[in-house]
């Protein structure tokens, strides 16, 4: 990442953060099978430390989820990259993200697609994500909304791709309805503590899915998540 790009983003970065980000991309992502050059470049460019609290800046690039308050976490870098890669974005898509958190994954998706709508149920986190995205220069094509993400966000749909950063007991019907045909949905599905990360394809009126890997996410709460009618 060039010095010009750093200045353009509006974020002042120390050499230690730059080195940590390069190591993250090479060791945690590329060596573990992430191949999409656009995803790798986005992860290299976006300052992850700006999406966690200053108290944990020193561990921002570890391959671990990091608490962001309100019982939520920012996903480990590998999972963020894997989910983005599985969507197979080419740059012109409209994407829905469910579970904004602090906004980091939305920033990555915004670097890969034309438009991102990201929905967060916790008002304080939605406000934090919007501030983080604006401060890092990543809010131009990302819209943050506050609401029940298990119902998606029909007002700006349908979407070419949907990424869900919380675990559902099953695939919410609302999200399938808001997915274009053709379209791709990536979502963790399973029990509260252990899930499968599923890739769901909609094509020519049919829906198919494939398990990409095992995973563990915070639960998707809401009307079509845990605690709702699908429990």
How open is the CA angle 110-87-106, to the nearest 5 degrees? 25
Query: Residue 214 pairs with which residues in a beta bridge?
Result: 196
How open is the CA angle 69-170-178, to the nearest 5 degrees? 85
99 in Cβ contact with 106 (< 8 Å): no
Cis ω on the peptide bond leading into residue 159 (within 30° of 0)?
no
Residues identified as active-site: 75
Task: Count CA atoms closer than 13 A to 140's CA, side-chain side.
Answer: 8
- From CA 63, how far away is CA 126, in angstroms rounded? 24
Torsion (CA) 9, 40, 186, 67 in degrees, nearest 10: -60
- From CA 159, how far away is CA 156, in angstroms rounded? 8
Query: Residue 213 pairs with which residues in a beta bridge?
Result: 197
Three-state secondary structure call for residue 68: strand
74 in Cβ contact with 102 (< 8 Å): yes
């Amino acid at each position: 990442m060039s010095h010009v790009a750093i200045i353009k983003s509006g974020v002042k970065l120390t050499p230690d953060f730059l080195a940590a980000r390069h190591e993250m991309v090479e060791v945690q992502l590329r060596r573990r099978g992430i191949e999409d050059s656009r995803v790798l470049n986005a992860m290299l460019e976006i300052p992850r430390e700006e999406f966690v609290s200053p108290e944990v800046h020193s561990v921002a690039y570890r391959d671990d989820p990091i608490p962001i308050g309100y019982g939520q976490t920012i996903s480990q870098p590998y999972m963020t990259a894997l989910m983005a890669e599985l969507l197979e974005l080419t740059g012109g898509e409209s994407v829905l993200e469910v579970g904004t958190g602090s906004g980091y994954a939305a920033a990555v998706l915004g670097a890969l697609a034309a438009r991102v709508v990201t929905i967060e149920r916790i008002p304080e986190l939605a406000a934090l994500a919007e501030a983080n995205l604006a401060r890092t220069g990543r809010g131009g094509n990302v819209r943050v909304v506050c609401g029940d993400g298990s119902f998606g966000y029909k007002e700006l749909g349908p979407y070419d791709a949907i990424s869900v950063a919380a675990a559902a007991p099953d695939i919410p019907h609302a999200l399938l309805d808001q997915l274009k045909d053709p379209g791709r949905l990536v979502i963790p599905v399973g029990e509260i503590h252990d899930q499968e990360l599923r890739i769901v394809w909609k094509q020519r009126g049919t829906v198919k899915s494939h398990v990409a890997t095992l995973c563990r996410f915070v639960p998707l709460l809401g009307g079509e998540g845990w605690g709702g009618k699908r429990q």
